Copies of this chain bind each other. A is one copy, B any other.
Amino acid sequence: MQSELSVGQVAERSGVSVSTLHFYEAKGLIRSWRSDGNQRRYGRDVLRRVAIIKVAQRTGLSLSAIRDALATLPPDRVASTDDWRRLSESWRDELDARIARLTRLRDGLDGCIGCGCLSLKLCPLRNADDHLAQQGPGAAMLER
């Protein structure tokens, strides 16, 4: 179990490509130091970080949002259980919200199947985030 990993080793173990690791580093999501020969070296914490990035992306977060979340982690140590709990709880809330939005959209779709109105004024599917939406009943049924 080595304590230093090359970029290729990190790529293989984390399942992302070398170019993606370069990219994440340029974007400030991960860090490395350099060997004598100017090659990147990573601590084992990078594996956890990449894992977190991948999970967070699946929740629908942008890389910049993930970077901000990761910035709250201790910079030079493997993220602890508590760190992970804090992040995953906030991301679960985001996920819940996304699921709720999609569910409302689906229910709206169900309600409108066969109706086909899509009336700008009346249909809740249309009016979800319509710029013309009045505060009438159902206007807030669906959100973006």
Contact = CB atoms under 8 A, between A and B. Distances in A.
A132 B47 CA distance: 15
Interface string A96-132: 1011001101100110111110101000011010111
Most buried by B among A59, A84, A115: A84
B13 A120 contact: yes
Contact of A114 (B59, B85, B112): B85
Nearest to A13: B120
Copies of this protein in the assembly total 2
B96 A99 contact: no
Given A15-B120, A81-B114, A84-B116, 17 more contacts: A13-B120, A47-B120, A51-B120, A54-B126, A55-B105, A55-B109, A55-B118, A81-B115, A81-B116, A84-B113, A91-B109, A92-B106, A92-B113, A95-B102, A96-B106, A99-B102, A99-B106
Given A51-B126, A118-B51, A118-B52, A58 B95 contact: no
Most buried by B among A83, A125, A131: A125
A92 to B, nearest CB: 5
A79 B2 CA distance: 63
